Structure 1
Amino acid sequence: MSKLIDLSHTVEDGLVTYKGLPAPIICDYLSREASKSHYEEGTSFQIGKIEMCSNTGTYIDSPFHRYVDGNDLSELPLESVAHLDGVKITIPDAILAIDDSYFFNLELTDKAVLIETNWSRHWNTDLYYEHHPYLTESAATYLKSKGVSLVGIDSHNIDDTRGGARPVHSTLLGADILIVEHMCNLQSLPDKGFYFYAVPVKIKGFGTFPVRTFAQLTEQKN
């Protein structure tokens, strides 16, 4: 049997994913206690309610997130977000700017490229939002040239957020290459030998939404 590995953070009430964006509000729409009046004795249900920014937790970016004429979540074919042949690139802890040299001499065409920076160890702390690892424009251009399918990272943003430019989002999403940010547990993956899944809810007019990302191992680690 193949093994499944969860690569996503838990979304909970009050979680701050990106400073300046509202945290989710998670509550009961109908509580178990309130529901008892609707059903026979001993029967109750909970119906939840969530008010949430689309950029919450571990999420996927579709081209519509960056480009008004790009495909939104409802227009993504399942083949672009499920059962993708994956490869993991491990970046040393001290590296901030991840350039194209980290991807040389690798078979990347049609792959989901997952970038392990170990930054997820700072999740839900103030340190997570500052001076995080990111891809350079040269790295994005190289990945585009190799024809990758998707790029994921376990950092706060795939771009450098210290300025207003977002060349990595612009380059990848402009080429219909999907992006997954705020991943975790990438250390549990081998460098290759797995399939990757990041399937969002099928929403019209949305470019970003949380996903339950996971990998399916196709071979055991040595």
Structure 2
Amino acid sequence: MIVDLSHEIVSGMTTYPGIAPPRVTVVTSREQSAARLGTGVSFEIGSAALVGNTGTYLDSPYHFHADRADVAQVPLERLVNVPVAIVDAFGEPEVTAAHLGDPGALWGKAVLVYTGWARHWGTSRYLETDCPHLTADAVEALVNANVALVGIDSLNIDDPADPNRPAHHGLLGADIPIIEHLTNLDRVPADGARLTALPAPVRGMASFPVRAVATYDA
């Protein structure tokens, strides 16, 4: 089975309050190309102007730490065919270390936190800052468990009201990349799935959209 964990990017949409929306435009239209090609032949070239933090995206360590890997430098071993552990925190305002269960079971895995917040995607409710997030003790447990990656289906992996941003600072400081704004985590088994989530390798970018997919045997 293949489960798409990424939201579609639509021109003009809002991912996060204050972040400019993406703009998808046509650079060369089919009509323009048809004028210089053979009969019945045409193509289109488009342009997407977007902030790295658009849709479902990967935060690289460089996002919070200037001396760490950007999106082009994150090791592929952390992003391709990584075993998944789903943390079920549906409806919880905060995700604590207690929600993670046995840290030993998370070792080397992509830990994906299911809060259910994705059900609000595309509404004003999704953008409100009382979104589910990780607590500092959860971050410490994840770092100590040497996880490969942490993802969440929420507006922010941190409490937007906390200026210290413990999840971003702590996870990225340990070279653990983050994926925010995931979806469809309720369709992924708690264990046994694998995650692939690849950004375009753009040098100097701290964050970039990914097509995240989970695969598992039905």
Give the TM bin, normalised by the shorter chain.
over 0.9
Aligned to 2:123: 125
Question: Would you say 1:96 and 2:109 are equivalent positions?
Answer: no
The one-letter code matched in structure 2 to 1:84 is: V
Other structure's SS at 1:160 match:
coil
The amino acid that maps onto 1:124 is G
Amino acid corresponding to residue 85 of structure 1 in structure 2 = P
Look up the match of 2:74. Answer: 76
Matched residue SS, 1:211: strand
Alignment-derived partner of residue 48 in structure 1: 46
1:184 aligns with 2:165: no
After TM superposition, the structure 1 = structure 2 runs for residues 155-174 of structure 1, keeping only pairs within 5 Å, are 155-174=154-173
1:92 deviates by: 3.1
- Deviation per CA, 1:7-33, whole angstroms, max 9, x where unpaired? 000001001001101000101011111
Matched residues in 2 for 1:30 and 1:90: separation? 46
Paired residues of 2:58 and 2:71 also in contact (CA < 8 A)? no
The runs of 5 or more residues in structure 2 that have no matched partner are: none
Q: State the SS of the aligned residue for 1:74.
A: coil
The alignment partner of 2:171 has SS state of helix
Equivalent residue, structure 2, for 1:205: 204
Partners of 1:148 and 1:99 in 2: CA distance: 16
Report the Cα offset of residue 157 of structure 1. Answer: 0.5
SS at match of 1:213: strand
Q: How far does residue 173 in structure 1 lie from its aligned partner after superposition?
A: 0.2
When the two structures are superposed, what TM-score results if normalisation uses the length of structure 1? 0.95
Match of 1:139 in 2: 138
Deviation, 1:122, is 0.3
Show CA shifts across 1:122-176 (max 9, x none). Answer: 0011110111100001100110011101000000000000232211000000000
Match of 1:16 in 2: 14
Instruction: Give, in whole Å, the separation in 2 of the partners of 1:173 and 1:163.
Output: 17
- What SS does structure 1 have at the residue aligned with 2:98? helix
Residue 109 of structure 1: aligned partner: 107
> What is the SS of the residue equivalent to 2:199?
coil
Q: Which residue of 2 aligns with 1:65?
A: 63
Partner Cα distance (2:184, 2:201) in 1:
26
Distance 1:175 1:105 in 2: 20
Do the aligned residues in 1 keep the contact of 2:11 with 2:23 (CA within 8 Å)? yes
Letter paired with 2:72 = S
Shift of residue 4, structure 1, vs aligned partner: 1.1
Name the SS for the 1:8 alignment partner.
coil
Aligned 8 A contact 2:84 2:193 in 1: yes
Query: How many Å apart are 1:80 and its aligned residue?
Result: 1.5
Distance 1:150 1:77 in 2: 11
Give TM-score scaled by structure 2 length.
0.97
CA RMSD of aligned residues (A): 0.9
User: What is the match of residue 29 of structure 1?
Assistant: 27
Which residue number in structure 2 is paired with residue 85 of structure 1?
83
Aligned residue-pair number = 216
